[in-house]
Chain A
Amino acid sequence: QSVLTQPPSASGTPGQRVTISCSGSSSNIGSNSVFWYQQLPGTAPKVLIYKNNQRPSGVPDRFSGSKSGTSASLAISGLGSEDEADYYCATWDDNLSGYVFGAGTKVTVL
């Protein structure tokens, strides 16, 4: 059971906006930066968001991240078939002295 809670699934039609939540605590999200990763089937994860809301070079601006208190969220706007993937939030946990991932959210484009 992960210390970061994500919904197991999310879906939307092409062009819609989808939001994925990530809930933690004061020892993880509340005191450290949040990262978001996208994992396409059969591939290694790829970072989408770093430091809560920053996009690496090459990541479309359709992806945005936010953080408030002990929760974070990832929004995908203009949903496309290429966005069907698993999405993970992650951060450092001060109590565990370790990096923690959420259990992942599978995004389906209807």
Chain B
Amino acid sequence: EVQLVESGGGLVEPGGSLRLSCAASDFTFSKAWMNWVRQAPGKGLEWVGRVKSKSDGGATDYAAPVKGRSTISRDDSTTTLFLQVDSLRIEDTAVYYCAMDLYYGGAFDIWGQGTLVTVSS
């Protein structure tokens, strides 16, 4: 079964860093463009960024609120996606999902269950 499983969430102090992981299984991870999407408590969905497949250049794109303090990376050998966010702010508190388009033309049709990050002192 195609699956994405996030881990690494928890309580972090403002100004700190977090590194989230997303373990992928049962599809050709190396060919996939992988995304991070977050959702603050009671709020809507917000795209965080993506990493293209290495065969498509491996470039990353980021949303403005996290650009410059976030790094998305991938390890195709372990089929794992990563998100590192530095200089964390209260407003980074959210459930972080990894997501990808596998079957349906650009739509995020595979999602993980999400991992909660709480930024608080």
Contact = CB atoms under 8 A, between A and B. Distances in A.
Interface of A: 2, 33, 35, 37, 39, 44-47, 49-51, 54, 56, 86, 88, 90, 92, 96-104
Interface string B56-76: 000001111000000000000
B46 A101 contact: yes
Interface in B55-97: 61-64, 97
8 closest A-B pairs by CB: A50-B107, A44-B111, A99-B47, A50-B104, A104-B44, A47-B107, A101-B45, A35-B107
B105 A98 contact: no
Given A44-B113, A98-B63, A56 B104 contact: yes
Which secondary structure dominates chain A's binding surface? strand
Given A37-B45, A44-B113, A103-B44, A97 B61 contact: yes
Contacts of B47: 90, 98-101
Contacts of B46: 101
Given A33-B105, A56-B104, A99-B35, A44 B112 contact: yes
28 contacts: A2-B44, A33-B106, A35-B106, A39-B45, A44-B97, A44-B111, A44-B112, A44-B114, A45-B97, A46-B111, A47-B109, A49-B107, A50-B105, A50-B107, A51-B105, A51-B107, A54-B104, A56-B103, A56-B104, A56-B107, A88-B45, A90-B47, A90-B108, A97-B61, A98-B64, A101-B45, A101-B47, A103-B44
A99 B101 CA distance: 13
B42 to A, nearest CB: 11
Interface of B: 35, 37, 44-47, 49-50, 61-64, 97, 99, 103-109, 111-114
B103 to A, nearest CB: 7
A45 B106 CA distance: 15
Contacts of A49: 107
Given A37-B45, A88-B45, A98-B63, A47 B104 contact: yes
B102 to A, nearest CB: 11
A47 B105 contact: no
Contacts of A35: 106-108
